[in-house]
Amino acid sequence: MPTKQPSFLARTTLGPPNYLLVAMATIFMLAMAPLGAWLAAQRTSNQAHTWLAASHGVAKLDREFRDQFEAQQFVLVSWDDCTLGKPGKLATLARKLQGANGVVRIETGPQWIERLTSAPYGWAEEGAVARLEGTFVGPTQRDERGASLGQASRLTCLAAYLTPIAAGDDAQVAAVLEQIRRAAAESGVEPASLRIAGPAIDSLRVGQESTWAMLRWGGLAVLLGSTICLWRLRSFQLAALVTIPAIAGGAATLAIVYYSGVLEVLSLGRSLPLLGVADSLVLATPLLTYALTLLAGLRLIYYYRDARLAHGVDGAAERAVADGWPAWAIVALLFAAVMGAFCYSELLPLRRFGLFAGMGALASVGALLSIIPVWLHRFPTDERQIQAIAGPRRDGSLSPRLASIFEAAISGRGMMAGFGLLVFMLALAGVRGLAPSTQLPVALADRSTLASDYDWFGARIGHAVPMEVVLKIPGLRNRRPDESAEADGQQYRMTLAEQLWLVDEVEQRIRTLPEISGTLSAATLQPAAGGQIEDEEIANTVRQDCDDLELLQAEQRAGSDVRTGMQLWRISGRLMAATPGVELDYLSSRARLRSAVAPVVLSYEQRDWLLRELHERGGQLQRANVCVLYRGSADSAAPAANSAEALFGSLMARSGVQGGAVKYFNLAQLERGDEINADAIGRASETLKYAHAVVLAAQPADLAAAGRIAAATEQLAQAGVNVVDVSKLPAVEESATQLAVQSGGPGPILFEMTGAPIIAATITEELVATLDNASYWIIPGLIAAMMCVVWHPVVGLATVAAVTLPLALTLGVMGWAGVKFDLGIVLVAGLGLGTAFDSAVHYVAWYRRGIEAGLFRQEAARMAFARCAPATVDGALAVGIGLTVLALSPVTSLHELGIAALGLEMASLFAALVVMPAIMASPLTGMMGADAAPEDAAVEMTPVRIVLPGEGDGEIRPGRTDVAAAGVPAPAHRGRSGAPAGNETAAADGPHATLQAKLQRLRHAGGE
């Protein structure tokens, strides 16, 4: 009699047992994971300006700005009684921080007031305070009756400007903050009242909060998930056995991040890794790996249970692995491929997330299939523990509740299909309503210290988020007051006072934006007397102070000391922080900022075009008679304030035109209804033909009105009026890489916008673009993949609908509820798709086994349901309930994942337990060769022995009166009988011939 061959893990091919070799290899690989994970968590980088790809236009502008204005990252410090009337502690703190490591300079509100009230600026204290309100000085406080408490009650602050090296290193920023806290304590400031905010500390505080949130709330999520596993598996050993590989998979994900960074530095010669560094999104990725590994571990435990019930202890671990293979590999590869679509994003956090989420999933499968089978082989589970999870009849059969769900799904599959389609369509409508959030990327919720400090500054002193505007004025435009502005006939050259006027005009328009609390610029230093800065010494003092405060810089070429000839005038607006609960959209703020700045810069460009036009005709702008055309109400005598015509007219009045003012002409006087009045044209031409230039500065948005204006100006020109149309100027491009002296003509005045809000708005746009582009790749790829899994195009397409339903439903609810998304949405997408892949691929794998073994489609659907449903339910409960605690996290990405987790898992249960069985039991699967059982058949099934393909003696299952309850498939294949020739019976005639043949095969497999 042949001896039974040992199972794989029990074999001693290389000497030691295979299980020992596998265990040693696993321990060796995972031994480096804890250290790598800890080092990755300690070396995070959350600086938003590094999140855009280096080639991105906004990233290039930000780098140029940081190269020109090096010390522009600041930390604001204040406390509850830091007022203008009590400046002692603030002065002591400023004195202690002077020369501190990593700090370039210290500025305080009282220092600014002293500067502005001294020569050469000469502002009164009230005027100086007004210029600083919203930046270094807060509003006047009031008593209970609303009466002002005076200037002394205004809160003020200190700004510590960091060196570029310190600002780019979270460790050095942490050291600076420690110096500030220590110096504040030595200055008599209560630590509890100290408030610190500013762009320089965002990365550090976000990284710290993200790390602690992972340890605190992530640890609680793991604990709660393991508790759910203990409840469902009724065994400490089994609960620990599925939790430990899940934790190991999460740790391995972070370790891969760190060791990838080491490989980047060593192999590519980089000083710092580009991809192998953790940010807040990457720090949350281990939770995703943990969840997917926990699902796979629970499925492996249930496969082990079935193997133990069918065959006993010997080889049960190997049979459990064989039952789930290659489904586990397919799930991991599908998930890695889907996550890989994010690697093409312009956002580095999404590239990192896609790369390391996929690598973590693949690594976790290896850890799972190494740890659990080896442990179960070496330390088999007690029989009582197996019986405890073996169902109500202790034979692995479904609970009545799960069985009833399946029966409802397949009996009402038409209704379920209609309901599912309706839900899917509503979900898609909700998805289209999703709107992005332009909060600071992965910002902290209102429970965090950073968010509360930002809100404190915004309410008491001024907002703390800088939004920068840089005016670029070519040096060729400079002139002394005694020089002609039109010397070259090509451009209007400006004195220092005129350039300050330009800066002031832009600054005043920025101040009108509701989300801006205040601004700082060179115009803040404009002398109180106004007018011309005639004195050369005064002009030099103003320029030197602007240079010291980094409000004016001579532009240099990147990586060089060569100057481009361009002067950079910086205007720094303090914008409201987009903390949770604050209704602020950085996309809208960016658009409003551009609308505030662009018309002013355009009016200066229009002046140059008018100047060139006049010089070409032998004239000049100085003392010219200029009239500006506009279109307003019939009785208006001047254009609306802040309109393009008003801006241009005001600029002309300051440019030396005749009489120091321009005339305006209302084009509405030329219209009669929808037509141009010829008589009015004649009268107007008699008045306007004496002007040196009649300027059309803007066109209305109304196309009909624009057409009438074009017709009127053409008729005026034909009547001899010198009409100059500067409403449409050609675009001018110039950058720091092109020297102004080499441009071959007059240099235009340009402006650029940068800062954290601009970057945040760009990140939002790139996130939306990435999600759109990823969907174009993921959906077709997923359809092709599921077609290969199911091995039929139509059924594969239907399966994709079931796979994407949970995520679509979750995102649809978010859209209908008006919930905005940020980078954390990829965590929700990863969890939804990973869960759906796990349940769908395993279900389809068992369904295909049933069909290949000759079962009717309902039989195969029931068999697949019985093998997959218990693990699916337990996994959804453990992951959904466990991750829900993340909703308490102050980090928005974890917070959003926690809110969506339970709903997402419940939607996954609906797709796995209802939609998928309904699809597989439907006539749709007839296309892939799955036959339906005769509808009028009602045959009493005797108990049969169930034999899975490739297994031994099988297991006993009770029979049913339903023809579709034939159980798990026998090894016989469709189209041929499994009975030996000697036991053949006459073929049954009639409508039940096929059914009788199946019953014969099943009974033969049972040993009858």
DSSP, residue by residue, 854-868: T--HHHHHHHHHHHH
Q: What is the pLDDT of residue 935?
A: 55
Between CA 551 and CA 545 the distance in angstroms is 8
Q: Could you give the count of Cα atoms lying within 13 Å of 150 in the half-sphere of its Cβ?
A: 4
Q: What is the DSSP letter of 132?
A: H
Other C-beta atoms lying within 10 Å of the C-beta of residue 731: 5
809, 834 in Cβ contact below 8 A?
Answer: no
The neighbouring-strand residues paired with 572 are 468, 520
Domain map (residue ranges) of the chain: 70-197, 206-432+759-928, 467-756
pTM of the predicted structure, to 2 decimals: 0.84
Between CA 203 and CA 48 the distance in angstroms is 8
Q: What is the pLDDT of residue 72?
A: 82
Closest of 97, 108, 123, 98 to residue 155, by C-alpha: 108
893, 280 in Cβ contact below 8 A?
Answer: yes
Query: In the chain, helix, strand, coil percent, each to 5?
Result: 60, 10, 30
Sequence-separated (6 or more) residues with CB below 8 Å from residue 571: 468, 469, 470, 471, 503, 506, 507, 510, 519, 520, 521, 523
441, 822 in Cβ contact below 8 A?
Answer: yes
58, 52 in Cβ contact below 8 A?
Answer: yes
Sequence-separated (6 or more) residues with CB below 8 Å from residue 246: 222, 225, 289, 290, 291, 293, 294, 297, 364
Sheet holding 74-78, edge to edge: 103-108, 158-162, 74-78, 195-197
Task: Report how far Cα 353 is from the mean position of its chain's Cα atoms.
Answer: 11
What six digits make up the tokens of 684?
């107007």
Kind of pairing between the strands at 693-696 and 626-630:
parallel
Secondary structure element (H or E) that encloses residue 706, with its range? helix 703-718
Between CA 360 and CA 190 the distance in angstroms is 46
Closest of 472, 721, 513, 488 to residue 604, by C-alpha: 472
Between CA 226 and CA 814 the distance in angstroms is 28
The neighbouring-strand residues paired with 75 are 160
The neighbouring-strand residues paired with 755 are 467
Between CA 61 and CA 58 the distance in angstroms is 5
- Residues listed for the chain: 1008
Sheet holding 626-630, edge to edge: 663-666, 626-630, 693-696, 723-725
- Specify whether the backbone of 554 is left (phi greater than 0), alpha (psi in -120 to 50) or beta: beta
Q: Is 781 exposed, middle or buried (0-12, 13-18, 19+ CB in 10 A)?
A: middle
Q: Could you please report the per-residue DSSP string of 760-824?
A: HHHHHHHHHHHHHHHHHHHHHHHHHHHHHHHT-HHHHHHHHHHHHHHHHHHHHHHHHHT--B-TT
Query: Does residue 221 sit in helix, strand or coil?
Result: helix
Could you check whether the bond before residue 326 is cis, i.e. omega within 30 degrees of 0?
A: yes
CATH assignment of 70-197?
3.30.70
Backbone phi, psi, residue 1007, to 5°: 90, 10
788, 796 in Cβ contact below 8 A?
Answer: yes
65, 555 in Cβ contact below 8 A?
Answer: no
Query: Does residue 499 sit in helix, strand or coil?
Result: helix
Between CA 544 and CA 432 the distance in angstroms is 54
Between CA 130 and CA 895 the distance in angstroms is 41
Closest of 292, 254, 312, 315 to residue 368, by C-alpha: 292
Query: Does residue 311 sit in helix, strand or coil?
Result: helix
396, 320 in Cβ contact below 8 A?
Answer: no
Between CA 504 and CA 694 the distance in angstroms is 28
Could you check whether the bond before residue 120 is cis, i.e. omega within 30 degrees of 0?
A: yes
503, 571 in Cβ contact below 8 A?
Answer: yes
Q: What is the pLDDT of residue 1003?
A: 41
Burial 319-342 (b: 16+ CB within 10 A, else e): bbbbbbeebbebbbbbbbebbbbb
CA angle 612, 615, 619 (to 5 degrees): 135
What six digits make up the tokens of 10?
């029990």
Q: Could you give the count of Cα atoms lying within 13 Å of 939 in the half-sphere of its Cβ?
A: 21
Torsion of Cα atoms, 987 then 992 then 998 then 1004, to 10° = -50
Q: What is the pLDDT of residue 743?
A: 39
Sequence-separated (6 or more) residues with CB below 8 Å from residue 479: 485, 487, 493, 494, 495
Query: Does residue 933 sit in helix, strand or coil?
Result: coil
Other C-beta atoms lying within 10 Å of the C-beta of residue 816: 15
Between CA 670 and CA 437 the distance in angstroms is 48
Between CA 1000 and CA 58 the distance in angstroms is 73
Low-confidence ranges of the chain (pLDDT < 70): 1-5, 413, 417, 438-447, 529-534, 578-583, 730-746, 927-930, 932-1008
Q: What is the pLDDT of residue 592?
A: 92
Task: Report how far Cα 358 is from the mean position of its chain's Cα atoms.
Answer: 18
Task: Report how far Cα 332 is from the mean position of its chain's Cα atoms.
Answer: 24
Query: Does residue 387 sit in helix, strand or coil?
Result: helix
Secondary structure element (H or E) that encloses residue 945, with its range? strand 944-946
Query: Does residue 518 sit in helix, strand or coil?
Result: strand
First vs last Cα of the chain: how many Å apart? 24
Query: Does residue 516 sit in helix, strand or coil?
Result: strand
